[in-house]
Amino acid sequence: MQDDLFGTPEETAPPSKPQTKADTAAPRADTDESATEKKAATPRKGSLQAVDWSDELRALGAALPPNVRLGTSSWSYPGWEGLVWQTALSEQTLSKKGLEVYAKHPLFRTVSIDRSFYRPLSASDYARYAAQVPADFRFMVKAPSLLTDALVRSEDGRGKEPNTAFLSPELAVQEFIAPAIEGLGKNLGALVFQLSPLPWHMLERLPEVIDKLRTMLSALPALQPHAPDGVIAVEVRDPQWLAPDMLPLFANALREGNATYCIGLHAKMPPLSEQLRLLRKRWPGPLVCRWNLHPIHGPYGYAEAEKLYSPYDRIHHPEPELLAELGQLVNTFAAHKQLVYVGVSNHAEGCAPLTVESLAKSIVHPSAGQDSTRAGKSQ
For residue range 275-286, list pLDDT tens digits in order.
999 999 999 999
Peptide bond into 284 cis (omega under 30): yes
- Please give the C-alpha separations between residue 214 and each of 60, 151, 160, 285, in angstroms, as whole numbers: 40, 19, 26, 18
Residue-by-residue DSSP string for 78-124: GGGBTTTBSS---HHHHHHHHHHHHTTSTTEEEEEE-GGGTSPPPHH
**Is 231 a domain residue?**
yes
Q: Tell me, what CATH number does 311's domain have?
A: 3.20.20.410
**Is 101 a domain residue?**
yes
Q: Which pLDDT does position 368 carry in this prediction?
A: 64
Whole-model pTM: value is 0.86
Q: Which pLDDT does position 45 carry in this prediction?
A: 55
Q: How far apart are CA 242 and CA 302, in angstroms?
A: 23
DSSP state of 198: P
**Is 185 a domain residue?**
yes
Total domains present in the chain? 1
**Is 28 a domain residue?**
no
Residue 199, classed as helix, strand or coil, is coil
pLDDT mean for each 10 residues of the chain (379 residues): 43 42 42 39 67 96 98 96 93 94 98 95 98 98 97 72 96 98 98 96 97 98 95 98 97 97 96 95 96 92 94 97 97 97 98 98 82 36
Q: Which pLDDT does position 157 carry in this prediction?
A: 61
Q: Which pLDDT does position 9 carry in this prediction?
A: 39
Domain interval for residue 152: 50-378
**Is 102 a domain residue?**
yes
